[in-house]
């Protein structure tokens, strides 16, 4: 998982506007696309050609003003494959006129997948992954996204399949859990032929949102939770007023949802350092990770 | 004059998309506003509050995709005064829906001043400055801008006005060129009381354009000419095809227009270094300046 930007609305020289890229089995899934995202992709050497899906949380500029530039660049790079933009329906209202003015005659399609940000539903599914929406509580329609990796195939124990002379044509079935029956009729249980795959991973992205414990059932036990922490607890009133969270509130959500790891971000420009927010979260959820531009994290 | 970005359409880690800020008598005039301009303003410590006019050359993304972010930020900073965006009429078609979606209830007006990019006309005038359009030759309607400072008042020679006891109330007239008549009727010629003001400066911005000698009358003798030099002469065919200029062509325009200084920019991503373009221009117009991000230049 790559952090391209983790600042909030006002620009600073410390942070860029929000964007992340999930990298799974050689495919890239972008979440939000603030201004400057395409340049940051170049800096982090993230391949434009591997990106097919962009998930937008809501229609605030610091989460989507990078889309026109990124899509224009994909056009100039000669992209052919469809690009799908998932997000509240307002995303299409924003981007349609822009595409019309700037991207006429492009060699690829931009398809919009409008999603209802008030519901927890399946947004996208491919070979490796299911993505679900997570209803958040913000000033405008806004949702987070849950990335749930699919069950992987078991690993073949080569010594055992050799020993039992398992034919190549049966390997696929065995990877998927089948037992092997020898020509003599002996049943070799699958557990002797395979090692189980790593358990599938889950990543939840929750930005921007007021403190909103209703999301807990959707993110219960995820391997990594990204939760916004725009403010510190001393600015809790401001957080409430603007429908944002404090670092402490993010940590409370993480603790109550029993997530494995918590990462915070979307820092307000008023904080010179994210350390004060990390330390606040740490008191509730130890070893909180403070997102930084350029960070690459194994989930 | 401040260079915020001088790259071309494809993003690189070396250059940002085009934007410049002219700083005259405490007012700022922005020319073009590519993606990332607002962050670059922060980096260069250019004050958002002093900016009242933005001039857009044409509707290609690398010259205007920074507008939505910049205007949103001005709104968050509580700006009150009108912001005027000058440019071909397509600029309004692009920005109106964006303002409608993202900038409702902002405390300031954004006014569009549509200009005909095929004509050389007065675009804007204030106390210090007149700005004229320069018709360029590009794939879409596109114009450059000529910034012509107004005549400044002469400097009073204090020792002389003291000597002749010139009353304070007459100083303004004398600055503007009046002679002084003493109570005894002696005429003191203005030239003895004042030193002439510095001659007013002129700056011409020409990006993007094919080689187009028709612009020469409009930029004749300017103190500084910024002319795009997207390509080197070895890529002249590509320059012609895309309606851009080579460094050599930029220098030929500068030489034939007898400008005092030439600055080149809008470098194609294919060149690792702008030095090759500067050297090519130097053979025709010595001491060409190669624009770089963060550059501040006295005109």
pLDDT per position as a tens digit, A230-272: 999 999 999 999 999 999 999 999 999 999 999 999 999 999 9
Q: What is the reported pLDDT for A32?
A: 98
Q: What is the reported pLDDT for B11?
A: 84
CA distance, residue B64 to nearest chain A CA (Å): 10
Flag whether pLDDT at A41 surpasses 90: yes
Q: What is the reported pLDDT for B138?
A: 97
Q: What residues are paired with A156 via a beta bridge?
A: A194
Among the partner-chain residues A13, A94, A98, the one whose CB lies closest to the CB of B42 is: A13
The burial class, CB within 10 Å (0-12 / 13-18 / 19+), for A247 is: buried
- Counting every residue written for chain A, the total comes to 299
pLDDT digits over B29-55, tens only? 999 999 999 999 999 999 999 999 999
Res. A152 pLDDT band, cuts 50 70 90:
confident
Flag whether pLDDT at B72 surpasses 90: yes
> Pick the catalytic residue: B23, B32, B62, B116?
B62
B11 interaction partners in chain A (CB closer than 8 Å): 38-39, 42, 69, 73
Q: Is A268 an 8 Å CB contact of chain B?
A: no
Question: How many residue contacts between A and B have a Cβ separation below 8 Å?
Answer: 89
User: pTM for the whole thing?
Assistant: 0.91
Q: Is A59 an 8 Å CB contact of chain B?
A: yes
B10 interaction partners in chain A (CB closer than 8 Å): 73, 76-77
pLDDT average, residue stretch B90-102: 96
Q: What is the reported pLDDT for A46?
A: 96
Q: Which of residues 17 through 56 in chain B touch A, CB cutoff 8 A?
A: 17, 35-36, 38-39, 42-43
Among the partner-chain residues A12, A59, A69, the one whose CB lies closest to the CB of B42 is: A12
pLDDT average, residue stretch B260-281: 96
pLDDT average, residue stretch B200-221: 97
pLDDT average, residue stretch B145-153: 94
Higher pLDDT, B153 or A217: A217
CA distance, residue B170 to nearest chain A CA (Å): 49
Among the partner-chain residues A9, A36, A42, the one whose CB lies closest to the CB of B13 is: A42
**Average per-residue pLDDT in chain A?**
96
CA distance, residue B277 to nearest chain A CA (Å): 23
Determine the Cα–Cα distance for residues A220 and A120; give it in Å rounded to an integer: 14
User: Which ipTM score applies to this complex?
Assistant: 0.90
Res. B79 pLDDT band, cuts 50 70 90:
very high
CA angle A22, A24, A25 (to 5 degrees): 155
CA-to-CA separations, B95 to A199, A286, B89, B210, B289, in angstroms, rounded: 48, 46, 10, 27, 33
CB B107 within 8 Å of CB B135? no
CA distance, residue A123 to nearest chain B CA (Å): 24
Interchain contact, B102 vs A60, CB within 8 Å: yes
Res. B152 pLDDT band, cuts 50 70 90:
confident
> What is the percentage of chain B residues whose pLDDT exceeds 70?
100
pLDDT average, residue stretch A79-97: 96
Catalytic site includes residue B62:
yes
pLDDT digits over A101-146, tens only? 999 989 999 999 999 999 999 999 999 999 999 999 999 999 999 9
Q: What is the reported pLDDT for A281?
A: 98
Interchain contact, B35 vs A73, CB within 8 Å: no
Q: Choose among A245, A287, A237: nearest CA to A263.
A: A287
Determine the Cα–Cα distance for residues A86 and A208; give it in Å rounded to an integer: 16
pLDDT digits over A25-35, tens only? 889 999 999 99
Q: What is the reported pLDDT for B252?
A: 98
pLDDT average, residue stretch B16-23: 97
Chain A CA closest to residue B11: A39
Tokens of B207: 């990006």
Q: Which residues of B170-188 are buried (b: 16+ CB within 10 A; e: fewer)?
A: ebeebbeeeebeeeeeeeb
Tokens of B112: 């569009």
Flag whether pLDDT at A187 surpasses 90: yes
Q: What is the reported pLDDT for A130?
A: 98
Interchain contact, A11 vs B35, CB within 8 Å: no
Contacts 24+ apart (CB under 8 A), B214-218: B214/B135, B214/B137, B215/B134, B215/B135, B215/B136, B215/B144, B215/B253, B215/B257, B216/B253, B216/B256, B216/B257, B218/B120, B218/B132, B218/B134, B218/B146
Determine the Cα–Cα distance for residues B48 and B28; give it in Å rounded to an integer: 9
Res. B26 pLDDT band, cuts 50 70 90:
confident
Report how far apart the first and last C-alpha atoms of chain A are (Å, whole number): 7
A293 interaction partners in chain B (CB closer than 8 Å): none
CB A20 within 8 Å of CB A41? no
């Amino acid at each position: 998982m790559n952090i391209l930007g983790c600042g909030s609305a006002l620009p600073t020289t410390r942070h860029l506007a929000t964007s992340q890229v999930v990298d799974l089995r050689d495919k890239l899934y972008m979440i939000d696309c603030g201004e400057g995202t395409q340049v940051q992709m170049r800096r982090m050497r993230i391949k434009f050609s591997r990106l097919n899906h962009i998930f937008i949380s809501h229609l605030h500029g610091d989460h989507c003003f990078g889309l026109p530039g990124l899509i224009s660049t994909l056009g100039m790079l000669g992209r052919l494959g469809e690009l799908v933009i998932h997000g509240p329906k307002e995303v299409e209202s924003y981007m349609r006129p822009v595409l019309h003015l700037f991207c006429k005659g492009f060699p690829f399609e931009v398809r919009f997948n409008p999603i209802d940000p008030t519901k927890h539903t399946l947004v996208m599914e491919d070979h490796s992954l299911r993505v679900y929406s997570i209803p958040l509580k913000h000033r405008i329609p806004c949702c987070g996204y849950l990335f749930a990796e699919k069950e992987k195939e078991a690993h073949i124990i080569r010594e055992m399949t050799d020993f039992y002379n398992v034919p190549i044509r049966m390997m696929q079935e065995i990877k998927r859990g089948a037992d092997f029956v020898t020509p003599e009729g002996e049943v070799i249980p699958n557990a002797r032929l395979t090692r189980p795959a790593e358990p599938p991973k889950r990543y939840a992205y929750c930005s921007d949102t007021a403190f909103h414990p209703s999301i807990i059932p959707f993110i219960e036990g995820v391997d990594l939770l990204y939760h916004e922490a725009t403010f510190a607890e001393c600015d809790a009133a401001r957080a409430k007023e603007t429908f944002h969270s404090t670092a402490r509130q993010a940590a409370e959500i993480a603790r109550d949802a029993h997530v494995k790891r918590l990462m915070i971000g979307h820092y307000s420009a008023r904080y010179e350092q994210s350390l004060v927010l990390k330390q606040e979260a740490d008191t509730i959820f130890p070893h909180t990770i403070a997102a930084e531009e350029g960070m690459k994290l194994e989930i």
